[in-house]
Amino acid sequence: MIKKLFVLLLTRISGESKRAGIYGKYLGIKFGKNVRITGIPIFGSEPYLISIGDNVTITQGVMFHNHDGGVNVIRHKHPNIDIIKPIVVGNNVFIGANAHIMPGVTIGNNVIIAAASVVSKDVPDGVIVGGIPARIIKTIDDYEKKVVPQAVVLKNRHDQQKRKEEILALFQKSN
């Protein structure tokens, strides 16, 4: 009971990312270093079976499903049946908004999961996947070749006020 109150207190005084991370750790999720959570993801009914690597970003509405709830339809024949599997997220991964990560999936390193994707199979290292079901769209190397030439380079990426001023100045020059 005291642990629950402590977690509740911490979630009230910290930002979204910390709040979800604190709650996730309380649920038993294994987090690596530098995990960024924006919004509130859903960690499923067996969150203690989720492992998240280093340098991972999980965005708004991502859902981790550790079980197959469809077995409820046949539970009258098999009352004690369950399908429960772990989920593993590698290092340097970005999971887009409202993506669904299904039971037993392992996501490799250096991966982008597109928004609203349903990831039902393992994802190899170094790719972008998207769609329903998620399929490989391109490699991270191809993505890098496409986006780097059009990217904005910011000097003040970590100072929010200076970052805002720098971005506004860039767009005022282009108008």
What is the pLDDT tens value at each position of the chain, 175 positions in all? 555 554 454 444 445 566 667 878 889 999 999 999 998 899 999 999 999 999 999 999 999 999 999 999 999 999 999 999 999 999 999 999 999 999 999 999 999 999 999 999 999 999 999 999 999 999 999 999 999 999 988 887 788 899 899 889 888 876 6
Residue 26 lies in a domain: yes
Residue 169 lies in a domain: no
DSSP per-residue codes, 120-135 = -S-B-TTEEEETTTTE
- Model pTM score: 0.85
pLDDT (0 to 100) of residue 9: 46
Residue 11 lies in a domain: yes
The active-site residue out of 65, 67, 100, 158 is 65
Residues 34 and 55 sit within 8 Å (Cβ to Cβ): yes
User: What distance in Å separates the CA atoms of residue 117 and residue 111, rounded to the nearest whole number?
Assistant: 13
Q: Report the SS3 class of residue 82.
A: coil
pLDDT (0 to 100) of residue 154: 85
Which of 144, 139, 119 is closest to 130 using CA atoms? 119
User: What distance in Å separates the CA atoms of residue 10 and residue 16, rounded to the nearest whole number?
Assistant: 11
pLDDT (0 to 100) of residue 160: 87
Residue ranges in the chain assigned as alpha helix (H): 2-13, 16-27, 140-147, 160-174
Residue carrying the six token digits 């599997």:
85
Clarify whether 65 is annotated catalytic.
yes
Q: Which domain holds residue 79?
A: 1-139
pLDDT (0 to 100) of residue 175: 63
**For the chain, how many structural domains are there in total?**
1
Q: Report the SS3 class of residue 160.
A: helix
